Amino acid sequence: MASTVASTPERGVKPRTRVEYLRFNAFHRWMHFLVFVSFTVLVFTGMPLKYKDTEWARWVMDAIGGVTAAGVYHRIAAIITVLYWLAEVTFMIVSIVRHRGRGVLGPGSMMFNQKDLRDIAGMFAWFLGKGAKPQFDRYTYWEKFDFTSLVLGTVIIGTTGFMMWFPLETTKVAPGIILNIALVIHSNEALLAMGVIFIFVHFFSAHLKPESFPLDKVIFTGSLPVEHYKAERPLEYARRVREGTLDEVLVERRVTWRTHVADVLWWTFTAVAGVSALLMSAFIIWSVFD
Amino acid sequence: MRAWADASAPRRTTRSPGLVLLLTLALALDVGAAMRVPVAAALSPGAEECAECHNAENPGTISVAGETKPLAMDLDAYEASLHGKLDCTGCHLGFKSRTHTANQTEGWLRTAKLEACRNCHADQFTMYEGSFHGTLVFDEASTEAPVCADCHTPHNIVAPDSPQFRRGILDLCARCHGGRGETYLDSYHGKAFLLGNDQTATCIDCHGGHRILPESDPASLISDENRVATCARCHAGANTNFAGFMVHLDPQDPRDSFTVWLFWLAYVLLIAAVFTFGGVHTAMYIYRGIKDGLYGRKHS
């Protein structure tokens, strides 16, 4: 993205190179970007409908350009959601096939395993000052929850969304009450997803927890200093050293003026997402107590 | 097939460009005649006479049927209404004398709000007469059931397909049918309506305007016999299943639909569980982070 300003002359910052740990490849990063954009649009065009009798719902709708325009944006974002979901599932299937099923349930996998239960117990013990912080592999239990809830939640919210988008077609094969049920599911699944992404799991994970505060930008840059990663995910690091696969994830990263331009961009994204999250959360909390 | 259909209920029609062209042409050709008519057409001569007393400056009041009503009239609003060029006596039948007592007025008011409308709007009046509301008024002498002027207002009459009228429909019906209004606002149409869409279906688009009948009456727009056709007025291709969608359903009430209520309950519990766990986890993590001085000790 930073390449778009390539005409600006390079000066001041001396290019230097450092070895970093590649946590997210370009595919991961593009997926996150698409989720980021579509999710924000979906929340802002959808939540006013759930809280339609509040003043803020009216403000948001007026700012967007009315309920009809919001419906169009919501559907465009829904199509993006379907596309990224299909791409992600394809990516997962290709990965599994390419590795001939090895590692699907292994320590570096997104799948839940018994260690996650021990980690939850271990984290609560650490919170209470009774024991050391558990050591994590590639993904923590809250990251697995974040990802799984998005992939499965998209199926639920997508299916019900398309039912409501095409009510005539839906009722050709199902009774009319399916549209009542679809609305209840879609609306509440949306609130659940918003809470998970905007407050309790994703924002906490990327911004609020001490290791990430105020911004963990690895989902944008893809790589992070090896020492940093070693401290955060010691088990994956140790595993790669043991298996001799560390070289696969070590990348040379040139730090240039572009890096700093990109940093501004990541912070802008974060600001947009942060303001969106705060605003929408505040609106909903306001509605609950109003 | 359309015999039961309420002629006045707004439908999604677009004005044909041909008609507009024709009207423009007619207007252009008749421009000479149009010039002879005063542009800022005032009240009719008959209405001017009434306006000598019933104007905005008149501070007087009159007691009619125990209610104190002002003698003043918002003549500008009346003039701007669809009836603005009519004589007052067109509706206030029998007002011949310049002096009229409160007793006379009481009878006339009822006439003007109901019976007088028939003289010009016979079709609508006939539909209303046979409706649930009309039956209450004529057969049971109800003073609560709405008469023409209750929905159309006495003086500021606007076109029933105008945004001004459509925006007010819900309030009109909610005077008596408040609970139905609540569930309507929770429905797809209601959400769109509340957030500013004037074209979405409101009460009268499904229930009809003048000939509103209970669901159990086969002639009703929402009866089992007619419901599909009523939906199809906007949703071309609607079928029986589609028309089985419950507009007035409260998901939080198990008596409305136990199935829908179960979904609602399941989500409330799920959301409460996830948010509680997430909230506690987040708060404790932050607490530990502050206590151990982990914030700001960033690696990169």
Q: What pLDDT is attached to residue A104? A: 85
The ipTM is 0.90
- Angstrom distance (rounded) from CA B215 to CA B202: 17
Task: State whether A177 and B298 contact (CB < 8 Å).
Answer: no
Among the partner residues B196, B241, B245, nearest to A67 by beta-carbon distance: B196
The two structure tokens encoding residue B220: 């009703």
Q: Which of A234, A235, A236, A228 is nearest to A211 (CA)?
A: A228
Which residues 251-270 of B are in CB contact (within 8 Å) with A?
251, 257, 259-260, 263-264, 267-268, 270
The two structure tokens encoding residue A168: 């005539």
The model's pLDDT over A5-39, given as tens digits with 9 standing for 90+, comes to 444 445 555 557 889 999 999 999 999 999 999 99
The model's pLDDT over B28-47, given as tens digits with 9 standing for 90+, comes to 444 444 444 443 457 888 88
The position carrying tokens 């004005």 is B15
The two structure tokens encoding residue B298: 């960033």
Q: What pLDDT is attached to residue A11? A: 54
Task: State whether A67 and B259 contact (CB < 8 Å).
Answer: no
Q: Which of A85, A113, A109, A80 is nearest to A96 (CA)?
A: A109
Task: State whether A127 and B296 contact (CB < 8 Å).
Answer: no
CB contacts of B277 in chain A (<8 Å) are: 200
- Angstrom distance (rounded) from CA A51 to CA A264: 34
The two structure tokens encoding residue B172: 């009109």
CB contacts of B234 in chain A (<8 Å) are: none
Q: Are A159 and B238 in contact (CB under 8 A)?
A: no
Let me know if B2 is exposed, middle or buried by CB neighbors in 10 A (0-12, 13-18, 19+).
Answer: exposed
Residue ranges of chain B with pLDDT lower than 70? 1-41, 298-300
Residue A254 has phi, psi (to 5 degrees) of -85, 125
- Angstrom distance (rounded) from CA A78 to CA A89: 16
How far is the CA of A231 from the CAs of A115, A228, B9, B152, B208, in angstroms? 19, 5, 70, 74, 69
Among the partner residues A67, A171, A192, nearest to B195 by beta-carbon distance: A67
B12 lies within 8 A of chain A by CB: no
Which residues 129-188 of B are in CB contact (within 8 Å) with A?
185, 188
pLDDT in tens, chain A (290 residues): 344 444 444 555 555 788 999 999 999 999 999 999 999 999 999 999 999 989 999 999 999 999 999 999 999 999 999 999 999 999 999 999 998 888 888 888 999 999 999 999 999 999 999 999 999 999 999 999 999 999 999 999 999 999 999 999 999 999 999 999 999 999 999 999 999 998 889 988 888 889 888 888 899 999 999 999 999 999 999 999 999 999 999 999 888 888 889 999 999 988 888 888 888 888 888 887 76
- Angstrom distance (rounded) from CA B86 to CA B71: 19
Q: Residue B245: closest CA among chain A residues belongs to which residue? A: A176
Strand order in the sheet with A250-255: A223-225, A16-22, A250-255
Q: Which of A27, A146, A136 is nearest to A92 (CA)?
A: A27
